[in-house]
Amino acid sequence: MDLALNDCHGRGRDGMATATLILTRDKQLQTDETENRVSRKTRLNQEETVAPGTDYFEILARATDDAIRDWNVASGSVRWPRGVESLGHPETAKAGTIDFWFGHIHPEDCQIIETSLKQAFSDATERWLGEYRFRRADGKYLHILERALILRAANGSVQRLVGAMMDVTERQELQAQTCRSQRMEAFGQLAGGVAHDFNNFLTTILGYSDLLLSEMAVKGAVATQVREIRDAAGRASTLTNQLLAFSRRQALEPAVLEVNDFITNIERSLLRLLGDDIAVVCHLQRIVEGMHIKVDPGQLTQILVNLAINARDAMPTGGRLTITTSITKEAPRTKDPATSVQLAPGEYVLIAVSDNGVGMNDEVKARIFEPFFTTKEKARNSGLGLATTYGIVRQSGGQILAESELGQGSTFQIFLPRVAPPPVPAYRKPGRRKTGSETILVLEDEAGVRHLSVRVLRGLGYQVLEAAHGDDAKRMLTAGNAPKIDLVLTDMVMPEISGRHFADWLRTSRPGTKVIFISGYLEESLHPHDRRGPEMYFLAKPFSAEQLAHKVRDVLDEKG
């Protein structure tokens, strides 16, 4: 007990000392706070003495970075507190009149703004909102959003209009780019569906044209007319492939290519295409392991041809086309939101195609990848060249950027993912036959394509079964007397059951049966569960009778 008391007394003495320190500290804090209040009051008093001479319009303009327009409606004079400079004009006496403001509004917007102001002045409203284009001193137009307060006299007449002019040019450009991107996406979806249906029709036209031309009885004028039909179908096929490439739904057959070898092989063709007055210069970066990409060879040819044709048209008096290759680890960057795409980290093969032609202004450059946009005569150009190029590059996992200035030429940079070199191909004996006696099941819901495929394959000696739907094919293969099937030729998109689902079922029930998928769609447009694997065989629509015969024989002869 004594120890406890002594301890409490000790704490009491320490506690009293602590309390004294606390009281002393609080008193000092109160003194400091009083001094701070006095100091703040002094500063406020000083500010109040400065306030009457302060231009709060200028302060507001500096705070918002907007131009402030103070319009005396009665006299027509305008005051610009720090505003006219931010609009790209020097502060002059001319800027002090309302005519200066009206004179710099875009002609297409002027009548709308005048009507809007008259309506606001005649109404009892005290606020006005206007959006218009305002010309800078350098001739460029700013997009302005102005919010204004209308000050009236006691009788309601308008005395002043004070408005804050916000520069929304960047927002307008972003909105326009977004709208263009959405239009391109919508067009791509529509084009993909239409082109796929056309490919079914074209497969039938091309196939039966080939069958007619192979008949001994078709000669002379009849054969010539059939060839004309086939040529027209071939041109239509090219157009649908362009639409599918733009929409990124084209059925590609990518292969691993060495870029420099590919460009070297196509260089002579480009020279013939460009003419004698345009030189082709290639600066190709050569490395031991090569620069490989995985693309459809025909589509890469189309890209280079499209860019070469554009360069030729941009150099009407001759010039130089330069093709450069290199490897970069940096993904392409652009300030244009419509084309900015975040690509996966990694190495990219860069193909740059440059010309020293007339170049492009910013307005044209912003629209060059839009479908049907062209600066050439409509009779000479469909407006699909660069749109198709854009679609092919994006479909192949890459990006394309354009740099150009008027009088300085243009450069198109194509970034494609770099891949490992392909393995050395195995040796195959030459002279493989196209005919055969194996049993093939043709599964296709489009009657024209199905009947054509059956006729071509039977003409080559194969035993052919046909089915319009996956369920019909299942019933046929599960019947008691079902024959052995060596190969199934199936469309990927069908009602009831997709070609991929049917192939999965077939792999379980008949694991030795090979499958060839046919489609006019790209894999990415299908549901993930309906897509084929990389090891599966594929034939793109539209195909000819010769292409079908070669593909079937190649797959049947392949071991494994």
Q: What is the dihedral of CA 151, 156, 157, 159, to 10 degrees?
A: -20
Q: pLDDT of 230-288, one tens digit each?
A: 888 887 877 676 666 555 555 557 889 899 988 988 887 788 778 788 899 999 998 88
For the chain, what's the residue count?
A: 560
Q: Mean pLDDT, to the nearest integer, of 207-211?
A: 87
Q: What is the DSSP string of 223-271?
A: HHHHHHHHHHHHHHHHHHHHHHHHHT------EEEEHHHHHHHHHHHHH
The angle formed by the CA atoms of residues 86, 88 and 91, to the nearest 5 degrees, is: 80
Dist. CA 440–CA 165, nearest whole Å = 73
Reported pTM: 0.45
Superfamily of domain 439-557: Response regulator (3.40.50.2300)
Residue 232 CB contacts under 8 Å (≥ 6 apart), including other chains: none
pLDDT of 100 strictly over 60: yes
CATH match of 56-167 with 3.30.450.20: yes
> What pLDDT score was predicted for residue 243?
63
Q: Of 282 and 49, which is predicted with more confidence?
A: 282
Structural contact between residues 357 and 319, judged by C-beta atoms closer than 8 angstroms: yes
* pLDDT, the chain, mean: 77
User: Class assignment of domain 255-419?
Assistant: alpha beta
Among 163, 84, 173, CA closest to 117: 163
Instruction: Report domain extents, the chain.
Output: 56-167, 173-247, 255-419, 439-557
Structural contact between residues 348 and 328, judged by C-beta atoms closer than 8 angstroms: yes
Structural contact between residues 274 and 280, judged by C-beta atoms closer than 8 angstroms: yes
> What pLDDT score was predicted for residue 291?
93
Map tokens 């009236």 to a residue: 152
Q: Mean pLDDT, to the nearest integer, of 65-79?
A: 86
> What pLDDT score was predicted for residue 30?
54
With cut-offs at 50, 70 and 90, classify the pLDDT of residue 47. very low
> What pLDDT score was predicted for residue 180?
65
Q: Of 422 and 417, which is predicted with more confidence?
A: 417
pLDDT of 395 strictly over 90: no
Q: Look at 21-25, 199-203, 552-556 and tell me which has the smallest mean pLDDT.
A: 21-25
Dist. CA 114–CA 48, nearest whole Å = 41
Among 327, 319, 364, 329, CA closest to 349: 327
Dist. CA 320–CA 356, nearest whole Å = 6
The angle formed by the CA atoms of residues 215, 218 and 224, to the nearest 5 degrees, is: 125
> What pLDDT score was predicted for residue 298?
75
Among 541, 540, 537, 542, CA closest to 557: 537
